[in-house]
Structure formats: C-alpha cells, structure tokens
Amino acid sequence: MDISRHLAAFSPFEALAAELLPHVMDDAGDGSHDISHLVRVWNNVRRLQAQEGGDLRLLLAAVLLHDCVRVEKNSPLRSQASTLSGRQAAGILQALGWSAEQAAEVAHAVEAHSFSAAIAPRSPEAKILQDADRLDAIGAIGVARCFYTAGRMGSSLYDAADPQAGGRALDDRRYALDHFPAKLFRLSEGFQTATGAAMARAREETMRRFVSEMLGEL
C-alpha cells in the first residue's frame, strides 16, 4: 500500500506517521482494523486531547501501534493482543531512537487500550487512547464494524428463533445481534475522560436506535 496517500490524515506528525505506518499496514484483509480505523481513532484522539490534554506525539505513536500485533477476535490469544502489541511498539520506537521512558509510555497506552486485557490506564495518554479506540467500536461505525467482523468470523446475523435472547444465553460468537447487549451497550459505562463519556453516550443512542429498528423489521 502507498502510505504517502494517508500521511496528511495524521497532521501535524506526517513524518512520524511515515516512520511507523510501514510497521502496521494490515496484510490480513481486516477492514475493521485497517488504515481507516487508525485515521478514525486519531481523529477521536484529537477531539479528546483538545479538552483533556496529553502529549500528541506520544498519542499518535500509540494510535499507529496499538494493533501492531494482529490477533483475530476468535483467537484464544485475543486477551494478550494488546500486551504483545505494547512490547512490539516499545521495540519499534527504541529502534527509531526514542528514549526507553517515552517508549514505555507509549507501550503502556497500547497495553491498556484493550477491553479484553482489562489493564487500568495510568497516564492521560493511555486514558485518551482507550476512549478513542472504544469510540470507534460504538455508534454508526460500531454497527458497521460489528456486522463486518461477524461476517469475517462466519457468524449469523441473529438467532431466528430467539433474536433478543429471551430464552437463551447471549452468544455473540454465533450471532452478531447478541454482541450489542453482550458488549457494545456496556462500553459507554467505562470511559476514562469526561469528553469521551459524553461522546460515548451519544453513540450508544445511535446503536440502540439501530437495534430497535432492526428488531422492528424482524
């Protein structure tokens, strides 16, 4: 992929993006974790940082490297993905001349961004990255990513006999619609910043309207 087409999206750190993007370009065909995902998370970061503070250079490095080790959603190693990415991110940055301290800051933000890892973010940058990445999992984009990922994993849209799981346990590995009550509707409760929490509430309402409309059509 020609990374030069995408550098302007990471303004004002195009030079840093040019250094890091070759380490993270997706070769697995995952459209939910591709360059567009990185751009959206960066846009979220910029909105959050404007209100919450934080070092934008460290944040961009964390954004670009937060999924640098690819682990599929249905892999038994999924909960380790952010830890593996954090370690790799630190190595990449130190090889580029970053100090051990700065590399460790980025690595912590990367490690703490994941829902499944359940690592508490300690720094402003880690809190912002976690919020920015979770914002991309909800709202209209979250709906699109949910069904896209379900298709990649071979899941059904919903359980035709019991779409709302009234008489069975939720199973979002088998049914895409189950992923909303199982996880996506819960994400807005755990945001780290006030700005992120407000954005999350609005995006949750978008998802709830979609699910209500879908159930109505069923």
User: How high is the pLDDT of residue 69?
Assistant: 83
For residue 68, report the phi and psi dihedrals to the nearest 5 degrees. -70, -15
108 domain-assigned: yes
Q: Please report whether residue 129 resides in a domain.
A: no
Residues 88, 68 contacting (CB under 8 angstroms): yes
Which one, of 121, 6, 117, lies nearest residue 64 by Cα?
A: 6
Does 214 fall in a domain?
yes
Within 10 A of 68 (CB to CB), how many other CB atoms are there? 19
Consecutive H or E run containing 145: helix 139-153
- Domain coverage including residue 5: 1-119
Using omega within 30 degrees of 0 as the cis cutoff, is the peptide bond preceding 181 cis? no
Give 170-203 as a 3 state SS string.
Answer: CCCCCECCCHHHHCHHHHHHHCCCHHHHHHHHHH
Question: 125 in a domain, yes or no?
Answer: no
Q: How many domains does the chain have?
A: 2
- Token pair, residue 73, equals 């959603």
The amino acid at residue 111 is E
Full pLDDT tens readout for the chain, 218 residues = 678 888 999 999 999 999 999 988 765 577 778 899 999 999 999 999 999 999 999 999 999 999 878 766 655 556 678 888 889 999 999 999 999 999 999 999 999 998 777 788 999 999 999 999 999 999 999 999 999 999 999 999 999 999 999 999 999 999 999 999 999 999 998 899 999 999 999 999 999 999 999 999 99
Instruction: Report the half-sphere exposure of 169 (CA within 13 A, side-chain side).
Output: 2
77 and 174 together in one domain: no
> What CATH number is associated with residue 152?
1.10.3210.50
Tokens of 28: 């697995």
Are residue 17 and residue 93 in the same domain, yes or no? yes
Residue 23 to residue 202: CA distance in whole angstroms: 34
Note whether 105 and 158 are same-domain residues: no
Task: Please tell me the distance from the alpha carbon of residue 53 to that of residue 97, in angstroms, as a whole number.
Answer: 25
Q: Are 150 and 173 in contact (CB under 8 A)?
A: no
74 assigned to some structural domain: yes
111 is a domain residue: yes
What's the DSSP call for residue 12? T
Q: Using the 3D structure, point to which of 57, 86, 119 is the last residue of a domain.
A: 119
218 shares its domain with 175: yes
Residue 106 CB coordination number (10 Å):
30
Question: Does residue 106 lie in a domain region?
Answer: yes
Which of 109, 121, 126 has the alpha carbon at shortest distance from 68? 109
User: Is residue 3, in this structure, part of any structural domain at all?
Assistant: yes
What is the sign of the dihedral through the CA atoms of 24, 68, 194 and 16? negative
